[in-house]
Structure 1
Amino acid sequence: MKLFPLFADLQDRHVLVVGGGNVAARKAQSLLEAGAQVAVGAPALDTALAELAAAGRLTHLRGSFEPAWLDGAWLVIAATDDRAVNAAVHAAAQARQVFCNVVDDPQLSSFQVPSIVDRSPLMVAISSSGVAPVLARRLRERIEALLDHALGPLAELAARYRTRIRSALPELGARRRFYDWLLDGPVASLLRSRQADAAEAILNQALAQPQVSSAGRVVLVGAGPGDPGLLTLKALRALNEADVILYDRLVSQAVLSLARRDAERIEVGKRLGENHEATQARIHALMAEHARAGQHVVRLKGGDAFIFGRGGEELEYLREQDVPYEVVPGITAALACAAYAGIPLTHRDHAQSVRLVTAHCREDEDALDWDGLARGQQTLAFYMGVKQLDLLSQRLIAHGRAAGTPVALVENGSRPEQRVISGTLGELPALAQRHSVQAPALLIVGEVAGLARTLHWYGRHLTAEG
């Protein structure tokens, strides 16, 4: 271990920053946030530092560096672009046994400023010992994605109740189980939803009971269209906390690979020819069964759970069964497929609105507003329409949409095997047959679809011509 890691308490302690530019400003701001009494030594200050000095938040030592500036300092940061000045700061600090950091110069530094993930009072610091700051930054980005922003309020709540928890649960094993519940259960979920009063009420109820509640919960998570890079931070955290994952057929293996390794995975996707209502009833039963067993259940859906994903029906069932739940939105196929095909869904010259339409509904297709769908100056995005392309083309043309209206079929949108097939509404069925288009594929209809010919940037682009 090259460096000894520690967290320094700088509250009301004198710290010196040498330098008056933007790097010095960033360092000074971080030190102020830690409660330090900051002095900045430099001939002149940039705007940010000057404003802090004018507000009385830091002291400006005007002029060139002098060793006397270090008198009384607990540590010093040299942030100038003059290595001779930085070396002088380092030498003066060494003589006084004051910790010194010279920005981007580990040879002149007796301590390193780490990359920080701040969930105060929880702090995570990453250091490469000064030799690879870009690597430390990249690791910080990954850890940021894993740590919920509710952890800070949760840690503060646990600190306030620490004495009560120890009193209510004197046995160490029971106390550990309680803290597991506190971190994984409804208290954390309520804090995540910004319901601090309700979270504290649940904690008080739990402390008044002899046993820790074992109630689980369900999180409906939108997995997006397939590219794991499109997962939200909350979705990634949910996957890493899951005990059980109920996933749809269209959820990509790349997304599933990001889940907690020991989570139980259960495929619950619907297939052609199956009784979909029976499959949905099984999904409902599995969610309730595992949640009542005290498990954290992730209901993982392709795209977004509330866009043609029956997420509303699943929440209604969970509410009826009194099972706690929350929802993490995902990027729906229309947004992702259009973006990855270079198609703007709205464009001031071509489309002032977007309509998301499913080609599968409980009633027959005559229930759709074909007159409204056939109007111009709008973009139509049809989900689950691969088997209905003949019908969609015929009905839209019959109700007034021009046969020459541009269309684009985006197959496997955002995935490595993505294909975009461009053509017109009149030639749509033949176009799909020629290129053997298979689900999952999204159909985009409207003038903006024609922009895929020039703006496509990802995967393969095909046309009627080849």
Structure 2
Amino acid sequence: MDSSPATARLDPHPPVAPPALYPLFADLRGRRVLVVGGGAVARRKIAPLLAAGANVVVGAPQLEPALDDLARVGKIEFLDGRFAPNWLDGAWLVVAATDDGAVNRAVAAEAQARRIWANVVDDLELSSYQSPARVERGPLQIAISSGGGAPMLARHLREKLETELDESLAGLAALLLRERRRIRARHPRLAERRRFFDALLTGPVTERFRAGDEGGALRAFEAALGEAPPSRDIGSVALVGAGPGDPGLLTLRALRLLNQADVILHDRLVSDGVLALARRDAEFIEVGKQASNHHVTQDGIHALMLEHARAGRRVVRLKGGDPFVFGRGGEELEFLHAHGIAFEVVPGVTAALACAAYAGVPLTHREHAQSVRFVTAHTKDSVDTLDWRALAQEKQTLAVYMGVAGLDRLQQKLLEHGRQAGTPFALVENGSRPGQRVLTGTLADLPQLARLHDLQSPALLILGEVAALAHTLHWFGDKPLGAPAPQVAHAA
């Protein structure tokens, strides 16, 4: 038999992709849940159901000793025998936990016909819901699911969280659950209530619970609840750099502000992964601009910042890359300052740094480049104002923020002012994102190669001797397109 790698990859029954699951916490108190199976697997499934207050009914030809003890003391109801459809009468959920595939399939089919949620242990295709790995701290629960496709990964993450989440969270969660109505009565406005919780969760209440001083925590809570609601007629704006796309490149300060924001004004190219880290109930407004399509003008962005800040909201102006590198962040701060709006700036990883790093191209190198220039050339007018003689010098790196629209003009200007046609380039599309592509070659072929491979915005051009290292130092995503560019020889 041919056992080559190419043959081994062929699978007539490829695995089913895990479904996109909707997370849901079910209130099972007093509700009937059927578990089919009476062994150790069933016992593991029954324990959390009993803890949730469910009326657990177990059907099986026989029960293992621990389950038999539960049945004797009336904690579970036992149905003796093989599965019958009437066992599902009145059930809200069903768990099939037998080692008999035919029985599990019958349970799943009957549950499907009755529109009852069913979990068949270790069978993704037959299950209509999955039981997550859980971390519990009193009423606080964190559920982790891999969609049923990688339970060991979910278990690993649960074990990691168990060590990172303090047990004192149980007392804090119980207190907040118990005092929920008082908190809402004291702070009826949502924005006001958010500020109360922001202060509470980082103040002495949490500290006292962590120190094991429940009495001190309760006294600190009463003091916090008795304080006058914080006055905040005028809000604030934070200019936050979102980086090039990889959510892992956000700063901790940026992440904290995203989780405190009432309104997020974000650029078109801010990645979905970054937006997913923001507070879910914030108001998201896309204010992105791209060449020839400014669906929200800069004046419109200014007006939105002012409107929401004056309404007392915390605004995050989320900008791709870094706010102060070709991001017009300075103009926005000048506007806010002129109108008396409080602001702060959180830097982000600018595209030149991120794209170079993820393409394996050092922007400076002792042998090849002693300086780097950040350049933007979106329009013909901006191209004509650049110092091309300086840009064409050797032993430096150009990082050009221009997408792919002006490559012909860029090539022409550089060649006219003395840059060698054999100068290496690396054109990075979707830098740091899962779809990143890196195209390499020389200045002589730059526009033609970009069109041949249909590179699209967002893209950043790195031009200079260091770009020849893209093939050697590649580490992220697919290998670079195009042939490796030779190192440029310099005159003595």
The normalised TM-score by structure 2 is 0.54
CA distance in 1: counterparts of 2:456 and 2:280, whole angstroms: 31
> How far apart, in 2, do the equivalents of 1:326 and 1:137 lie?
34
**CA 1:141–1:319: 2 relative to 1, 3 Å:** farther
Q: Percent identity?
A: 62
The answer to whether structure 1 residue 330 and structure 2 residue 348 are counterparts is: yes
Query: For residue 474 of structure 2, what is the aligned residue in structure 1?
Result: 456
Candidates 463, 470, 477, aligned match of 1:445: 463
Q: Which residue of 2 aligns with 1:235?
A: 254
Alignment partners' CA distance in 2, 1:334 and 1:351: 15
Partner of 1:293: 311
Contact 2:403 2:458 in 1 (8 A): no
Cα distance in 2, alignment partners of residues 410 and 340 from structure 1: 9
What's the counterpart of residue 286 of structure 2? 267
Contact 1:358 1:385 in 2 (8 A): no
Cα contact 2:403–2:456 (8 A) shared by 1: no
Shift of 1:286: 0.4
Q: 2:401 aligns with which of 363, 377, 383?
A: 383
Q: What does residue 41 of structure 2 align with? A: none
* Cα distance between partner residues in 2 of 1:209 and 1:262: 25
CA distance in 2, matches of 1:412, 1:265: 23
CA distances 1:318-373 after superposition (whole Å, capped 9, x unpaired): 00111111111110000100000000111000011110001126943111010110
2:375 match: 357
2:433 and 2:163 map into 1 onto residues whose CA distance is 26
Q: Residue type matched to 1:455 in 2?
A: L
Check the 8 A contact 2:263/2:314 in 1, yes or no.
yes
- State the match for 1:222 in structure 2: 241
2:231 corresponding residue in structure 1: 212
SS of 1:297 mapped into structure 2: strand
Q: Which residue of 1 aligns with 2:329?
A: 311
Change (3 A) 1:255 1:275: closer
Note closer, same or farther for the CA distance 1:343–1:210 as it changes in structure 2 (3 Å cut): closer
Matched residues in 1 for 2:274 and 2:257: separation? 12
Give the SS at the match of 1:364.
helix
C-alpha change, 1:350 and 1:423, in structure 2 (3 Å) is same
Q: Give the deviation of 1:461 after TM superposition.
A: 2.9
Once the 2 structures are TM-superposed, how far is the Cα of residue 442 of structure 1 from its aligned partner? 0.3
Distance 1:419 1:412 in 2: 7
Contact kept? 1:244, 1:296, Cα under 8 Å: yes
Q: Kindly indicate whether the alpha-carbon contact (under 8 Å) linking 2:261 and 2:279 is maintained by their aligned counterparts in 1.
A: yes
1:173: which partner in 2? 186
Unaligned 5+ runs, structure 1? 1-125, 127-131, 144-170, 189-207
SS in 2 for 1:322: coil
Aligned to 2:116: none
Deviation per CA, 1:137-187: give whole Å up to 9, x if none. 5577799xxxxxxxxxxxxxxxxxxxxxxxxxxx982699878557769xx
Offset of residue 384 of structure 1: 1.9
Q: Aligned letter for 1:213? A: R
Unaligned runs of 5+ in 2: 1-141, 143-154, 167-183, 203-226, 485-492
Q: Distance in 1 between matches of 2:396 and 2:303?
A: 40
| CA distance in 1 between partners of 2:297 and 2:446 (Å) | 32
Secondary structure (helix, strand or coil) at the match of 1:357 reads: strand
- Among candidates 429, 432, 436, match of residue 414 of structure 1: 432
Letter in 1 for 2:252: L
Match of 1:367 among 372, 385, 390: 385
Q: Distance in 2 between matches of 1:139 and 1:280?
A: 47
* Map 1:98-109 → 2, pairs under 5 A: none
Deviations 1:270-319 (A, max 9, x none): 1332357x611111000110111111111111111110011110000000
| Residues 76-155 of structure 1: pairs in structure 2 closer than 5 A | none
Return the alpha-carbon distance in structure 1 between the equivalents of residues 158 and 422 of structure 2: 52
Aligned with 2:307: secondary structure? helix
Q: Secondary structure at the match of 2:405?
A: helix
Q: Write the distance in 2 (CA, Å) between the matches of 1:259 and 1:301.
A: 14
2-side partners of 1:183 and 1:391: how far apart? 55
Q: Deviations over 1:211-270 (max 9, x none)?
A: 823221111111110011111111111111111111101101111111101111110001
Paired AA for residue 374 in structure 1: A
After superposition, residues 42-61 of structure 1 pair within 5 angstroms as none
Cα distance in 2 for partners of 1:139, 1:223 equals: 30
2:98 maps to which residue? Answer: none
Structure 1 vs Structure 2 CA RMSD: 3.2
After TM superposition, give the deviation of residue 425 of structure 1 in Å.
0.7
Indicate if the aligned counterparts of 2:437 and 2:481 stay in contact, CA closer than 8 A: no
Q: C-alpha separation between the residues in 1 aligned to 2:162 and 2:345?
A: 27
Q: CA separation in 2, counterparts of 1:142 and 1:430?
A: 54
Given that 2:233 and 2:311 are in contact with CA atoms closer than 8 Å, whether structure 1 keeps it comes out as yes
User: Secondary structure, in 3 states, of the residue corresponding to 1:455?
Assistant: coil
Bigger Cα displacement from structure 2, 290-299 vs 361-370? 361-370
